[in-house]
Amino acid sequence: MTSVQTLTLRYPDDWHLHLRDGDALPAVVPHTAQRFARAIVMPNLKPPVTTTEQALAYRSRILAAVPHGAAFTPLMTLYLTDDTTADEIRRARDSGIVYGVKLYPAGATTHSDAGVTHVRHAYAALEAMQQAGLPLLVHGEATDPDVDVFDRETVFIERTLAPLMKDFPGLKIVLEHITTADAAAFVREGGELLGATVTPQHILMNRNALFQGGIRPHHYCLPVLKRERHRQAIMDVLAEGHARFFLGTDSAPHPRGAKESACGCAGIYSAHAALELYAEAFEAAGALQHLEAFASLNGPRFYGLPENEGTLTLVRDPWEVPQAYPLGGDTVVPLRAGTHIAWRLK
Ligand code: DOR
Ligand code: ZN
């Protein structure tokens, strides 16, 4: 059997991305700008991006880090807090540069301490978002310490997301970086206003990858990798070509030392090879014919944005991923460091 040697797609977007700030920006923005026309940029900086004014300033810093000649548009988000006002939401909508508002349950993940302590505190903002047509982007994990870490997504859907959807039936919601069969089924059976992003790690690996011959901090992210049956269930929905699932890498660089630590940070860096990694996962599932919709069509349709112009081509030409990339004065260890990836950007 002959295998496909080139893949040409309409120019794709990344609907969930961490770019950080300061001297990390010139290190990571080029990786994304080489592969994606647009990206939804997460607001979990220190301090978080909670106002339109901060989002505008952050956007300018990102644009200053886009390599000369590259066309890349950051789609900004606000960080929802207990104190986000309806006025702030309207300002965000009117700015034309904010495309979503991110809900981090307080304590759920990296830089989430300013997050929402209970969704009822955010109801005024959610009401305004529903009216403004501004999507809610959700880190879907329960934070109750009694909930097992592997069950947090499922419990969040039951206890928080489903009731919230009843209270705001007209709110557009993206359940970000889904990791379970439960989340895949919930979104699949949800209405037109519910979408999901999927990371490369959650369709390439299962939780065994955390303990391959020893503890693997560079495979640790949140929500944490799950059992094989969950990876398979997510890949199955993508292999059906379901229209409300789209590409969101959750690429989240941390300096090497912050991960290789007694208490290592959550986050996997994948921007250096994001599309190439998805191509591998889709190919392994026999679903390459659905990669373009996942990467380039489903996201714009969900967000009500135009598809990108032009195309991008991947060629089958295995390359070895470097052990590390520079990250400001530090380094970041990328996903698949020191191993080969089958696809290369043309
Ligand atoms: O693994 C993660 N890293 N999950 C998140 O939700 C946040 C992210 C980060 O900002 O490092
Ligand atoms: Zn994220």
Closest CA to 225 of 199, 248, 252, 254: 199
Give the pLDDT confidence of 149-178 residue by residue, as tens digits: 999 999 999 999 999 999 999 999 999 999
Residues in the chain: 346
Q: How far does the centroid of ligand 2 lie from the alpha carbon of residue 321, in Å? A: 22
Q: Which ligand is nearest to the CA of 77?
A: 2
Strand partners, 343: 316
Contact 298, 246 (CB under 8 A): yes
Q: Which helix (H) or strand (E) holds 316?
A: strand 311-320
Instruction: Note the pLDDT tens digit of each residue in 39-56.
Output: 999 999 999 999 999 999
Map residue 319 onto helix, strand or coil: strand
Least confident among 105-109, 216-220, 234-238, 324-328: 105-109
**Does the beta carbon of 109 sit less than 6 angstroms from any atom of ligand 1?**
yes
Q: Which atom of ligand 1 is nearest to the CA of 42?
A: 10
Helix (H, G, I), strand (E, B) or coil at 143: coil
Residue type, 75: L
Whether 303 is covered by a domain: the verdict is: yes
Ligand 1 atom closest to 176 (CA): 6
Q: Could you tell me the two tokens for 50?
A: 């909670």
Q: What is the pTM of this model?
A: 0.98
Cβ contact 173:136 at 8 Å: yes
Tell me: the pLDDT tens digits for 267-312?
999 999 999 999 999 999 999 999 999 999 999 999 999 999 999 9
DSSP string, 6-24: EEEEEPPEEEEE---SGGG
95-117: average pLDDT: 91
Q: Are strands 311-320 and 325-327 parallel, antiparallel or unpaired?
A: unpaired
In a domain, 28, yes or no: yes
In a domain, 315, yes or no: yes
CB 318 within 8 A of CB 32: no
110 lines ligand 1 (CB under 6 A): yes
146 is catalytic: no
223, part of any domain = yes
Q: Does residue 1 belong to any structural domain of this protein? A: no
- Domain-embedded: residue 91: yes
> For residue 226, what is the domain's CATH number?
3.20.20.140
In a domain, 220, yes or no: yes
Residue 173 belongs to some domain of the structure: yes
Closest C-alpha residue for ligand 1 atom 8: 267
User: Which H or E element spans position 26?
Assistant: helix 25-35
Residue of 14, 23, 250, 330 marked active site: 250
* C-alpha–C-alpha distance, residues 103 and 242, integer Å: 24
**Domain total for the chain?**
1
Angle separating helix axes 274-284 and 25-35, nearest 10 degrees: 50
> Domain of 306?
6-345
